[in-house]
Amino acid sequence: MSTWWSYRPADFLLFSEEVYWRLFELQNAALWPAQIVALAGGTLILVLALRQRPWSGPIAGVLLAAAWVSVTALFLWQRYQPINWAALYAIPPFLAEAAILLFAFARRESAFAGSRGLRSELGAGLFVYALALHPLLPLATGRPLGQGEIFALAPDPTAIATLGILLLARRCPLISLALPVPLVWCLASWTTLQTIGTFEAWIPFAAALIAIIGAFLSERRRKR
């Protein structure tokens, strides 16, 4: 029994760091040029949030929901669960998140109208990071750029981007209900990446912390 004390968290992990990053490389190669469509969709979401038109919310909600369904089908189910059985337990929450986002932004009045201040700035920063900078992380570690994680195709940037949009959105019960899944995923990803020993572990953790802080900040309305 004393041998149990010698185990580390990494001893229970079913895959290595190399295998984990290889998943994204294989997915990116198989899905090309879907990355262009995903990044274009993400850019459109940000434009909709910042332009603040009455129809911005419904379109952004559909695109965000599609991103979560895409990650569920293309990554969690096809790539991740064959090497990590725990990924199966993430599938129902991911699909639930897609449904919540769809309903949360379905109202005709603008979901983003009039908000500004530190809360919205943090939200925009999170979204821009997830969309434009997160895919470039392999360059910081000497890994191939093909292993980059893309919004709507990989869970971490999708969760971080969603947290950003939720900070940009006008507060309502459904918006609050949409926060837990991306927050929990970021913390779960932090745990996994910390276990395999990569510095990227602190990125989803930092994103979750920023989102929690932003969620408690008050909104200021833009003067008309």
Mean pLDDT by 10 residues, the chain (224 residues): 43 72 96 97 94 85 97 96 92 98 80 76 96 96 94 98 94 91 97 91 97 83 45
Q: Would 5 be classed as within a structural domain?
A: no
Q: Would 69 be classed as within a structural domain?
A: yes
Rounded Cα gap, residues 209 and 164, in angstroms: 12
pLDDT of residue 54: 76
Report phi then psi at 21, rounded to 5.
-70, -30
Q: Are 178 and 104 in contact (CB under 8 A)?
A: yes
Q: In angstroms, what CA-CA distances link 83 with 76, 104, 106, 124, 146? A: 10, 33, 36, 34, 20
Q: Which two tokens stand for residue 100?
A: 């919540």
Q: Which residues span the domain enclosing 82?
A: 15-216
The total number of structural domains in the chain stands at 1
First to last CA, the chain: 69
DSSP H/E element including 100: helix 91-104
pLDDT of residue 4: 40
Distance of CA 144 to the CA centre of its chain: 21
Q: Would 1 be classed as within a structural domain?
A: no
pLDDT of residue 171: 85
Q: Which residues pair with 220 in a beta bridge?
A: 116
Q: Would 7 be classed as within a structural domain?
A: no
Q: Would 6 be classed as within a structural domain?
A: no
pLDDT of residue 131: 98
pTM of the predicted model as reported, rounded to 2 decimal places: 0.91
* DSSP state for residue 115 in the 8-state scheme: E
Q: Would 144 be classed as within a structural domain?
A: yes
pLDDT of residue 138: 95
